[in-house]
Chains A and B, each alone.
Chain A
Amino acid sequence: MHLDHDHSHDGPGAVSADALRADGSRRALRIGLGGPVGSGKTATVAALCRALRDELSLAVVTNDIYTREDAEFLLREAVLPPERITAVETGACPHTAIRDDISANLEAVEDLEDAVGPLDLVLVESGGDNLTATFSKGLVDAQIFVIDVAGGDDIPRKGGPGVTTADLLVVNKTDLAPYVGSDLARMAADAKAQRAELPVVFQSLRSEPGVADVAAWVRAQLAAWTARA
């Protein structure tokens, strides 16, 4: 949110959530993916890129905590051309970079749009963090919180801002549930109790339909974003 209503943005860099870029064109939809370490955020981003890259112009910003591992994983997997993937350094505080001080991420998004745009969609992946980490509305238009069954089936019950308020909750690695003793029905009921009407997707990227449900949700978000233009 900004206080700048008195004049048009006539140069680079003063925008955050504004729908228009400095040149007057409409910017890409930005979707954030957050969640605990190891829950499958990068794997979900990779799968989304494979599912959507032929129909959309997209790019990815990663927020690695202390390495470029996530960006390098995406590069190695060749889910997108390298110029469409940018890593942001977060100074030991991944949640600060996506919520309290979003400037480096906004810069990365804008640079991607300048370099390889026009873009339809930018996925902003948070560094693995805790259950309270959410994205600022100044940075993303919608956010996905990714947890996994192996992190404990009590996480939906515990709630927290990510589980409770994310626009989409993804419960990942459902294929592992029998091996770690996680009760998917209980997770679904707890998530429903925490989130009311907000959607939840249970997915396993190791079997069909993989990321299809999340990709469908992303397409719906994009359709709504485009319709608002």
Chain B
Amino acid sequence: MSRAALLVLADGRFPAGGHAHSGGAEAAVKAGRISGAASLAEFCRGRLHTAGSVAAALAAAAALGIDPVTLDRAADARTPSPALRAAGRKLGRQLMRAARATWPSAELHALARQFPKGAHQPVVLGLTARAAGLGPVDAAYCAAYESVSGPATATVRLLSLDPFDATGVLARLAPETDRVVDRAVEAARRVVDEGVDALPAGSAPLLEIGAEIHAGWPVRLFAS
């Protein structure tokens, strides 16, 4: 296992399309739910324990070698908002492109053939981790961290928030991120015997509703 490969995959500059998405932050900023560093921290905490936890467990399960098609259906079942499903598949397709170019693997190629318009991003992320020689813990860390780093970066742009404050939010969430990852990997390991019902299904209704409203805006900075 290469620790450096994890840094390549987790790097915010990894060219997989994430820069155009705010992780719900744009809708939350417009609605007044994020107005500064403190409310950004609350938003990120909520996202980490819901969407982040689910994504981390899906990614860990995919990295363990659980059937990606089954996991993709599990992701759909855990994503009520059609707009978020579309965004998740779009990001999955873009990650697939970057992953296949960076760490070519038969499993990635097979999934790309099965889902030409994109599988859910955490599933692709887990298979990408496998292709990069990484394990389920690494995949879960990437997913959990992305669930908060995306909104934090977007909020810097949306509110001209002090970038040091935004990074401080992420640093203070690190211990919680560790715990979310631990539980996600544990759930993913249980999928081997118990099936995908062992995966967490935490949902944040405001994220889902906000995504639907956001998708209808004529003017916006971010794709989701």
Shortest Cβ distance from residue A63 to the other chain B in the assembled complex, whole angstroms = 10
Which residues of chain B are within 8 angstroms of A12 by Cβ–Cβ distance? 112-113, 116
Name the CB-closest residue of A to B102. Answer: A3
Is A14 within 8 A of B94, CB to CB?
no
Say yes or no: is A89 at the interface (Cβ < 8 Å to chain B): yes
- Tally chain A residues at the interface, Cβ within 8 Å: 30
Name the CB-closest residue of A to B220. Answer: A66
B-contacting residues, A1-36, CB 8 Å: 2-4, 6-7, 10-16
**Interface majority SS (helix, strand, loop, mixed), chain A:** loop
Say yes or no: is A102 at the interface (Cβ < 8 Å to chain B): yes
CA distance A106 to B22 in the complex (A): 20
| B8-48 near A? 1/0 per residue, CB < 8 Å | 00000101111111100000000000000000000000000
Name the CB-closest residue of B to A111. Answer: B117
Contact of A66 among B22, B93, B113, B221 (CB under 8 A): B221
Which residues of chain B are within 8 angstroms of A93 by Cβ–Cβ distance? 19, 157
Is B223 within 8 A of A91, CB to CB?
yes
Say yes or no: is A165 at the interface (Cβ < 8 Å to chain B): no
Contact of B97 among A13, A65, A90, A97 (CB under 8 A): A13
Is A100 within 8 A of B13, CB to CB?
yes
Q: Which residues of B does A touch, CB under 8 Å?
A: 13, 15-22, 90, 93-94, 96-98, 100-102, 104, 109, 112-113, 116, 154, 157-158, 218-223
Pairs of residues from A and B, 3 with the lowest C-beta to C-beta distance, nearest first: A91-B20, A2-B101, A14-B100
- Some 24 contacts from A to B, beta carbons below 8 A apart, are A2-B101, A4-B101, A11-B109, A12-B112, A12-B113, A14-B100, A16-B97, A16-B101, A67-B218, A89-B20, A89-B222, A91-B20, A96-B20, A97-B20, A101-B16, A101-B17, A101-B18, A101-B19, A103-B15, A103-B16, A103-B98, A104-B90, A107-B90, A107-B93
